[in-house]
Copies of this chain bind each other. A is one copy, B any other.
Amino acid sequence: MENKKTLKNKAKLLKIYIGESDRYKAENLYRAIVKKAKEFGLSGATVLRGIEGFGLHSDYRSSLIEVLSADLPIVIEIIEEEEKIKKFLKKISPMINQGLIVMCDVEVIKHV
């Protein structure tokens, strides 16, 4: 494949914390972010759903009341080179009106 790409040794882990019910236009925000990540040519994205949590408005989100609230916490993890992450953040930052984005250093051991 022409766009076969492997990450370099030093990369960044981007973690995006949002709510499952957060929307971007007509769709789920987390799905919109994953789509953007794919369009942008990032090497991957993983969406994890929590069973409970609270965020910026200190509202509980619990799977016990999932039927009512349907707003469980979502964590999106993306591993990519720093420069690419920074460009990608410019794209998605305006989509996120509520949430937390953090980044940390990782050493890439294997990427196949």
Q: A: which residues have CB within 8 A of B?
A: 7, 11, 13-15, 17, 30-31, 34, 37-38, 43-56, 58, 60, 73, 75, 77, 79, 89, 93, 96-112
Contacts and interface: CB of A to CB of B under 8 A. Distances in A.
Give the dominant DSSP class at A's interface. strand
B103 A107 contact: yes
Contacts of A75: 46, 48, 77
**How many copies of this protein are present in the complex?**
3
A31 B52 contact: yes
Contacts of A13: 15, 102, 104
Given A109-B103, A111-B101, A54 B48 contact: no
Given A51-B48, A96-B112, A79 B56 contact: no
